[in-house]
Amino acid sequence: MARVLSALIAGLVFGAGIAISGMINPAKVLNFFDFAGSWDPSLAFVMGGALIVTAAGYRFVLQQPKPLFDKTFHLPTKRDLDLPLLAGAAVFGTGWGIAGFCPGGSIPALGLGEISAVIFVAAMLAGIVLARLMRKAFAPQTSAGK
Amino acid sequence: MTVFTPITSLLGGALIGLAAVILMAMHGRIAGISGILSGLLPPTAADWAWRAAFIIGAIAAPALIVAVAGNTVIAFDSPVPAPWLVVGGVIVGVGIQFGSGCTSGHGVCGMARLSVRSIAATLTFMATTTITVFVIRHGLGGF
């Protein structure tokens, strides 16, 4: 119970941060990237605040022998810059620029009851499933795990 | 136009970071929304419970803020027509699955760990987002 409750609290803090920071607002997100037009630099402050706290917090937490509710820290082990990473990131950015929603912005926006968020999230989930099917089709012998 | 909000954006960003630190301290997990969501789609990950709890919390928080403080405190405006939300959503879904992350996973958690993969991914998607917004707004005269 404490396990699930702590994840719920982390989610609440995340959602509050997305809402307060302005990341929840597609118009604001799009304006951040519109250097040639109505530029709003706010999201640089979101990134700055998030990075400072995360870097400082991780420094302390990752020195501990293990997390409270798990046997080990689950950190990505890949090191190489491969094509799926860079092509996937390029594709993601294109979609972000079209819709103004990123995954972390869109999920809390559901809590505002915004239909645009519902449409975006449904399409995004379909895209995730589609990508998994593509991976299976391209590499039937290997696992699609990360 | 949207208003420049350095203070609330910095504060909100710090909360996003705090959430990432809590999740790492309690569950040893990266607070990446694409990774968390991915484990909730079939075939569902064995550890779906904490993932579902995190997502429920992330959705509930703005609803609670609106319930307590009123519906004018959180600015929201989606200028993008619905068909383009569908197009953008599918593209985002495909991209985050192949790219193993998004703004939260790569941009915050990975960059904070100085992961070379996350730094490269973040620079890449920031660049293509900028180009896309430029082309849509200044090339095609769109939203």
What's the CA gap between B100 and B109, in Å, rounded? 13
Residue range of the domain that includes B10? 6-139
What is the number of domains present in chain B? 1
- Regarding an ipTM greater than 0.85, the answer is yes
Q: Are B16 and A14 in contact (CB under 8 A)?
A: yes
The structural domains of chain A, with segments of one domain joined by +, span 2-138
- The radius of gyration of chain A's CA atoms, rounded to the nearest angstrom, is 18
User: Is residue B33 in some structural domain?
Assistant: yes
Q: Are B85 and B72 in contact (CB under 8 A)?
A: no
Check CB contact of B16 with chain A, cutoff 8 Å. yes
Exposure string of B80-102, with b = 16+ CB inside 10 Å and e = fewer, is: beeebbbbbbbbbbbbbbbbbbb
Tell whether the model's pLDDT for residue A140 goes beyond 80.
Answer: no
User: Is residue B81 in some structural domain?
Assistant: yes
User: Is residue B59 in some structural domain?
Assistant: yes
Counted across chains A and B, CB pairs separated by less than 8 A come out at 503
* Whole-Å CA distances, B45 to A142, B20, B49, B52, B55: 18, 20, 9, 11, 14
Q: What is the pLDDT of residue B143?
A: 82
Tell whether the model's pLDDT for residue A21 goes beyond 90.
Answer: yes
Residues in A 86-115 with any Cβ partner in B closer than 8 A: 86-105, 107-114
Q: What is the pLDDT of residue A146?
A: 44
Residue A141's Cβ-count burial label (10 Å; 0-12, 13-18, 19+) is: exposed
Of A27, A50, A93, the CB nearest to B14: A50
Q: What is the full per-residue pLDDT of chain B (143 aa) written as tens digits?
A: 799 999 999 999 999 999 999 999 999 999 999 999 999 998 899 999 999 999 999 999 999 999 999 888 999 999 999 999 999 999 999 999 999 999 999 999 999 999 999 999 999 999 999 999 999 999 888 88
